[in-house]
Amino acid sequence: MSTEHRAATNQALFERAQAVIPGGVNSPVRAFRAVGGTPRFIARAQGAYMWDAEGQRYIDYIGSWGPMILGHGHPEVLGAVRKAVEEGFSYGAPTEREIELAEEILKLVPSAEQVRLVSSGTEAAMSAIRLARGATGRAKLVKFEGCYHGHADALLVKAGSGLATFGHPTSAGVPPEVVQHTLVLEYNNVAQLEEAFAEQGDEIACVMIEPIAGNMNFVRASIPFMTRLRELCTHHGALLVLDEVMTGFRVALGGAQSLYARQIPGFKPDLSVFGKVIGGGMPLAAFAGPRAIMSQLAPLGPVYQAGTLSGNPVATACGLATLKLIQRPGFFEALSQRTRELSEGLTGAARQAGVPMAGDCEGGMFGFFFGPELPQNYPAVLATDKDRFNRFFHQMLDAGVYLAPALYEAGFVSAAHTAEDIAATVGAARRALAAG
């Protein structure tokens, strides 16, 4: 891999950062605590590659945790952003581009009629829950163990000790009474889902779920599970909220919900939460749904939500350019093929080395586990070989391949990744797995 001289090392930067930033990072997973070692401080990125402060090049499979579906520095996106910057950073007033981005999102998401733009996935998820509670007049919400919906207080919970029990805070600073209305269930467990609704269904405002969970690596909601979830929400008057911050416009042009709609007749969520790809790398997210529900938001309705930088003109320019480019003919077919080549290459290398590994992918998103089969829930993910993953991560990093620095995170392929990049990655994996 190519190198270039820079004065600062990753270690020196990390030590400097820890003096002024808690843990040396502004988002915990970046600290490499799960895998050990020194985080890489990125100096620049282009296409499918990133370069750290020491000039080391990496094939990037994080893609800013999903947004960089076109790769870094796409010329048409850069052009749109530069033009927007010259026009103004922020106005605190409406712009036509907000309308254009909303129209583009709604064109691709048939389940929604209106959309509200915000600045982060956390903000979008917490706002969707407030809207669901306001629209239903109910307080309780259901989430699933292993799904992450941002760091809003009511969502920072772990499962209780019994079946279908309410959650307990997983973060200091979250009082127990804040999460008393949050019910935590096991992902893909139909029997537990039915029991929860039988006992408390008429009190549940909404169920929030990642349709493909990317925060326990890559775990799909099964068709029977998603079918029953939709049926139970409809029967009990609870809203089904799909968190597509990660999967939206990433696993398919219409998001994960379009994949389920192909297999479940009439399937659609009541609310959808988006982020990452719709901002193209800029801070931008959204929540969307039918007009009857969205009209409950201020200034039309009683559910309050606001944001100084919501619909930021530079972010909307970046997101709009990205959404238009991924709609070009053949884009997702090519991206999906490249991702399958990587996924099958990794599991093939493991099989050749006699190492148990299971992998899965959809669109430009993938995951793999050191175990004999794909996990279906969070406890099964925890049972996979974490030590093997940590060794593999560092072996790949040393070979110039940047995977997510935690067992529990999905990976991302961009349109900028070439067949040669995939081959180089698989070759590095083959050597790493053979080395043990």
54: Cβ–Cβ under 8 A, 6 or more apart, which residues?
3, 6, 8, 9, 10
249/19 Cα distance (integer angstroms): 38
Name the token pair of 120. Answer: 């982060």
Marked catalytic residue, from 243, 270, 360, 421: 243
Active site residue 243: yes
90, 310 Cβ separation under 8 angstroms = no
Residue 436 CB burial class (10 angstroms; 0-12, 13-18, ≥19): exposed
ω into 379 cis (within 30 of 0) = no
Whether 163 contacts 191, CB under 8 Å: no
Strands 114-118 vs 57-60: parallel, antiparallel or unpaired = unpaired
- Of 61, 148, 402, 408, which is the active-site residue? 148
- Of the candidates 276, 360, 378, 402, the residue annotated as catalytic is 276
Helix (H, G, I), strand (E, B) or coil at 273: strand
Catalytic-residue membership of 387: no
Largest distance between two CA atoms of the chain: 64
Active site annotation includes 148: yes
- DSSP helix/strand/coil, 287: strand
- Strand bridging mode 365-369 / 411-412: antiparallel
246: which DSSP letter?
T
Strand partners, 282: 280
Burial grade of 201 (CB within 10 A; 0-12, 13-18, 19 or more): middle
List the structure tokens of 397: 């990093």
User: What positions carry a catalytic annotation?
Assistant: 148, 243, 276
